[in-house]
Amino acid sequence: MASTNDLKNGLVLNIEGQLWSVVEFQHVKPGKGPAFVRTKLKNVLSGKVVDKTFNAGVKVETANVDRSDMQFLYKDGTDFVFMDTKTYDQINIPEGTVGRAADFMLENQEAIVATHDGTVLYVELPTSVVLEITHTEPGLQGDRSTGGTKPATLQTGAEIAVPLFLETGTKVKVDTRDGSYLGRVN
């Protein structure tokens, strides 16, 4: 158990049997009336985001979430096989649990796997990864970095928008949270 005064981003709460991660929070002390805490919570399993307000100082139940450094080994059917980098234990994680992280994972990619009571909750990648463009339409003379964008397929199969001047074979840095192009890598 923790108090609403102890809330911090990333803390996982157990509310009515469901696990919710604190995305953001704000302590509010109005001129009249009691103080309260306004939060934005994300359901750990479904990804649904809701706003919830707590009275200040109220007890909330926290969930024990273990975060382990793991390495993505290979895809086995619809499962992804990860290995714990400390114990070398391997676990299979279903495609639905891996979610959008699968778009940016190469074999041997390091990731953080969060579990609660032995159940895998989610896979978290570093905020950015470097991937190679395997296909994009060729750029035309005069295309500049300030121009528009075009679709490009990465070596993982994911498609992102990149500036017009980039060509097939270029390595790019990609934000794993939203799939946006961050820059070229030499």
| Domain stops at, among 124, 143, 171 | 124
131: its two tokens: 């991937």
pLDDT in tens, 5-57: 888 887 888 888 888 888 889 998 988 889 999 999 988 877 788 999 988 88
Which helix or strand (DSSP H or E) is residue 84 part of?
strand 79-84
pTM, to two decimals: 0.69
Number of domains in the chain: 3
Per the structure, the complete domain to which residue 92 belongs is given by 66-124
Q: Which of 60, 76, 104 is the last residue of a domain?
A: 60
pLDDT single digits (tens) 97-123: 888 888 888 889 899 888 888 888 888
Here the CATH number for the domain that contains residue 47 is 2.30.30.30
Task: Please report how many Cα atoms fall inside a 13 Å half-sphere around the Cα of residue 133, on the Cβ side.
Answer: 27
d(CA 79, CA 97): 9
